[in-house]
Amino acid sequence: MADGRPVRRVHPDEHRRLACLAPRREHRLSRIVALLGAECTGKSTLAEALAARFSAGLVTEYLREWCDTHGRTPQQHEQAHIAAEQARRIDAAAQAHRLVFCDTTPLITALCSQHYFHDDSLLAGAVDFQRGCDLTLLCAPDLPWQPDGIQRDGPAVRAAFDARLRQALAAHDLPWVDIAGQDDMRLQQAISVLQRPSSK
């Protein structure tokens, strides 16, 4: 159940669609760093800054591109495409770069499907994909709220989604590092994490 409503369970085809794109570490030389967080938590700014700092590949958020193109947010049946395309772009970047920063992963799409549509059909595949990432930076919802077109719902939804995201990561034993504070502080925190011997 999600918010008192029935939750649709994993469909095998949807699971395999994401799982087949999961970035298996043993088959690649690249390093994938995922930046996750609710709306308006500085993911895009931080991902761009890190990619510039390390001369690395950058995978931007496909959802934003999709919304700009269509002039609306996606419907339930369009979520699988968005998750799969985000995964495909991350996989392509990992083929071309030794280090890749990703402004979200399919896990965010899967949790949005839970939140907005009470649909968990993408979650298993998204978790498999996330497990293949080498490092997850979780951006805290402590930045001032800034309206930004059709994607943003407000600070209350941001806080609720942050809680959902943290719960999902913990439930599936997916490790993460918290990133908080203003832009410069976030960048320095992330650089420090990336330069630790244990994260290389």
Q: What are 27-51's pLDDT values in tens digits?
A: 667 999 999 999 999 999 999 999 9
Q: What is the pLDDT of residue 183?
A: 82
Give domain status of residue 6, yes or no.
no
Residue 80 lies in a domain: yes
Identify the domain containing residue 141 by its residue range: 12-199
- Which of 157 and 148 is assigned the larger pLDDT? 157
Give the 3-state secondary structure of residue 100: strand
Q: CATH number for the domain including 178? A: 3.40.50.300
The confidence score (pLDDT) of residue 5 equals 44
Longest dimension (CA), the chain: 46
pLDDT greater than 70 at residue 2: no
User: For the chain, what is the total number of helices (H) and then of strands (E)?
Assistant: 8, 5
Distance, CA of 85 to CA of 50 (rounded, Å): 22
Q: Is residue 134 part of a domain?
A: yes
| pTM of the full structure | 0.86
Confidence check: pLDDT of 119 > 60: yes
Domain contains 4: no
Q: Is residue 24 part of a domain?
A: yes
- 112 within a domain of the structure (yes/no): yes
Q: Is the dihedral of CA 92, 94, 97, 101 positive or negative?
A: positive
- Does the pLDDT at position 100 exceed 70? yes
Residue 73: inside a domain? yes
Confidence of residue 199 (pLDDT cuts 50, 70, 90): low
Number of domains in the chain: 1
Residue 1 lies in a domain: no
Phi, then psi, of 104 in degrees rounded to 5: 85, 165
Q: Residues 54-71: what's their mean pLDDT?
A: 95
